[in-house]
A = this chain, B = another copy of it.
Amino acid sequence: MTHLPIYSDPSEQELSSRKNKLLASMEQRGLDCLVITDPDNIYWLTNFANYIHERPFILILPLSGQLTFIIPELERQHARTRSIGNIELDTYYEFPCEEDTAWLAVFQKRISAFKRVGLELNAPQFISNAIPSTTEASELVEEARYVKSDYEICRIVYSCNLATRAMEKLLNMARPGLSLLELHSKITKLMQMQLLSDNPQINPLATNVAAVVQPPNVSHDPHNFTNLMDMDMCQGGPHVSIINGTMNGYGTEVERTFFLGDVPSKAEKPYQVMMDARALCIELCVAGADMHDVDSRVVQLLTKYGYGDNILHRVGHSIGVTGHEGPFLAKGFHHQIQAGMLFTIEPGIYIDGLGGFRHSDTLLVTENGNKVLTPVKDSLRDMTLPIKAFQFKTSPAFKQKMLQVYNRYLGLNL
């Protein structure tokens, strides 16, 4: 099957087939009920995205009977508007409130009917403590999300198409002196407008896109996006650029390592080894392979070329209703890869004083192999970008001026 991009909400049938997948695994595990509090799992089953706060949202899926959603009264209309399928809403007055109208009373009235309740690994203690029956730690929902339906794949193809174009735009904008702030603002706005243009009914609570670049002074520290004023692009590299997130509920990720003008000679080898590791990872990521083995063999290759001490993370994670979830291409994670799974492919090399080397793509495992859904160019030649004239407004002097202007505009005198 060729998966074409789509953008429409899931049908009742799609959501019911997700539920049925779960019911089958509950029966196998001898559970008569699943209690679901993870907002992503709830979204996957209901199409309703929580505005997350201290008020509990609890979805109860019985082996037989009605899917029930316990929510604060405050959210009743909102939940009606966004949820899809046959779901009974049961509300409590407020959190906190007096005992007889509290979430706990509503929950316990419902849950006491069940004998053996499955509960997510990340379920909070206050939920597990409130269940009088036997509970069993379960990853049933997470596991049911591992292999995607055709509908899910088509939604993620859409997200990947948009991320691909956004990355091309980002690479096209790249210039020495361009600030992370301006880049982020421009590219995320483009993505948001495109999303709205394609679907005016988009749910902003299920949408969270990011566009960032780490210049060479921080790209060796892959989760440090926080030094905003010290992250301007510069001549040379490696810069590591990232487009990721969820687009109306369906994730994507694409990342590229690039250089502006010239490539430091010390950067050539790690770039090439990263490319070899990546090619091996894509080759290995096929149905039937063990996820642990994919990571191990890629790490072996990186080690053989002398980068065993420059690895900071596994070679991939999955994508679904989030941009970052299991299953993982990681050592110790012994699960078989199946057709219909999605993975990021992102072996990385991190060298203090030189920078980070990592591409990432979203890859679909098919019956006959796999397919990269984010086909941005990737060779060192293509990723050595010509230095273009500076057309942007974030030179250090201008940045200072801009801040003063904003200061006056908002009229603060703190």
Contacts and interface: CB of A to CB of B under 8 A. Distances in A.
A125 B126 contact: no
Given A169-B410, A331-B98, A412-B165, A81 B193 contact: no
A68 interface: no
A51 B225 contact: yes
B228 A77 contact: no
A208 B123 CA distance: 25
A97 interface: yes
A406 interface: yes
A369 interface: no
A117 to B, nearest CB: 12
Contact of A81 (B120, B190, B222, B226): B226
Interface string A157-195: 010011001100100000000000100010001110110
A414 B53 contact: no
Contacts of A78: 221, 223-224, 226
Interface in A30-51: 49, 51
A125 B196 CA distance: 38
Given A96-B332, A197-B404, A203 B223 contact: no
Contacts of A313: 72, 74, 94
- Mostly, the A contact residues are mixed
Given A74-B222, A313-B74, A412-B161, A197 B407 contact: yes
B409 A190 contact: yes
Interface residues of A, number: 85
B411 A196 contact: no
Interface string A87-129: 0000000111111001000000000000000011111111011
B197 A406 contact: yes
Contact of A204 (B99, B121, B165, B228): B228
A77 B162 contact: no
A367 interface: no
A97 B331 contact: yes
Interface stretch (A14-22, A257-265, A322-330, A338-346): A322-330
B98 A161 contact: no
A137 interface: yes
Nearest to A328: B96
A119 B126 CA distance: 11
28 contacts: A51-B225, A53-B324, A74-B223, A77-B224, A78-B224, A82-B226, A96-B330, A96-B333, A97-B330, A97-B331, A119-B125, A121-B124, A123-B124, A124-B124, A128-B128, A129-B137, A158-B414, A191-B410, A193-B402, A193-B406, A193-B410, A194-B410, A197-B404, A198-B414, A200-B228, A204-B226, A205-B225, A205-B226
Interface of A: 5, 7, 49, 51, 53-54, 72-75, 77-78, 81-82, 94-99, 102, 119-126, 128-129, 137, 158, 161-162, 165-166, 169, 181, 185, 189-191, 193-194, 196-198, 200-205, 220-229, 312-314, 324-326, 328, 330-333, 402-404, 406-407, 409-412, 414
Given A97-B314, A194-B412, 18 more contacts: A49-B226, A51-B225, A77-B221, A81-B224, A81-B226, A94-B314, A95-B328, A96-B328, A158-B414, A161-B412, A169-B411, A181-B196, A196-B403, A197-B404, A197-B406, A200-B229, A201-B227, A204-B226
